[in-house]
Amino acid sequence: MSKKLSALLAAGLFVFTASAGAEELTAYSIMPEKYASQVFAEFTKDTGIKVKFLRFSSGEALARLTAEKKNPQVDVMLGGPADTYAAGVKEGIFEAYKPAGSDAIRAEFRDPDGHWTGIGIIPLCFLTNTKFLEKNGMQPPAKWVDLLDPRYKGQLQMADARTSGTATERIYTLVKLMGEDEAFKFQKALNANVQLYTKSGAGGALPVATGQCASGIFYIVDALDIAQQGYPVTISYPQDGVSFGIEATGVIKGAKNLDAAKKFVDWATSRKFAEFIVANKINYVPTRSDVKTSNPILDLSKINTISVDVTWKGANRKAFTQRWINEVIK
């Protein structure tokens, strides 16, 4: 075990999901901790493999894995949009491994060389405080331009592109819908209504729920988490189109517990995992063709989704983030 990992363990910074004495797996998770804890605990229950994990936003996880690639500190990554993995493939971070049974996952939801495999689909959506809408005599936003309404001035929270995959997904959507230059002009105009850019994609969801702000742009998994807790919120999708993230998983190249990492990826891409997330209201649309969700708001046929190539996302992530910094928030 490396000195760095030993220090993290001694400091109690890893989340443990089982007691000592079992086969071990270490992971970074981009999936929110409340869901990742459930997922890893179920994996341990099924396999006996003990998991230690740290949760980061996608930008933080990618930066860590890149910095550590000569001496990997973890074996696997759980969650996060596939373009994060695509960017990591360029850095030589992920091991090529095709999970057992992954043929039940459509080809566009997995890397052809096996560096990552999709486990869920999550479109972007608008999450808006219902009381704010009632007070201002407004309807929920139905198009992207609706967020420019002056009544939203200082009332929007959304993710920061420097750290969050939710934010880069927002940029990809706008670029595909509007063209690159117009997309950044729109975001500059939108910036006038933004109260705060949050470190993580879900960071603004609770402030919307409690009325600290009025609305924001989130992945549906985070918006539904708030709605399921009973807060006065409304979820809507932009009628003019929205892209979706492919929540993925992958084995880290140089993993010290390679067999355990492969077992995890096999399990996370299995029918049993897909049925587990549906049953436990972990609101990703399963990528497997043999498992369906019954929640109507997750019915992709009712949403104007636009498919954006993962390789294109990964290739443009860094440049779009830098342009967002230079032209939107400066």
Tell me which residue has tokens 């996302």.
Answer: 313
Q: Is 201 exposed, middle or buried (0-12, 13-18, 19+ CB in 10 A)?
A: buried
Give domain 3-121+244-297's CATH architecture. 3-Layer(aba) Sandwich (3.40)
- Residue pLDDT, tens place only, 279-311: 999 999 999 999 999 899 999 999 999 999 999
pLDDT digits (tens, 9 = 90+) for 134-181: 999 999 999 999 999 999 999 999 999 999 999 999 999 999 999 999
Domain boundaries, given as residue ranges, for the chain: 3-121+244-297, 123-242+305-329
* 18/31 Cα distance (integer angstroms): 19
Fold of the domain spanning 123-242+305-329: D-Maltodextrin-Binding Protein; domain 2 (3.40.190)
Positions in the chain whose pLDDT score sits under 70: 1-22
Question: Are both 3-121+244-297 and 123-242+305-329 of the same fold?
Answer: yes
DSSP element (H, E) containing 236: strand 233-236
Q: CA-CA distance, 300 to 107, in Å (whole number)?
A: 17
Give this prediction's pTM.
0.85
CA distance 92 to 138: 49
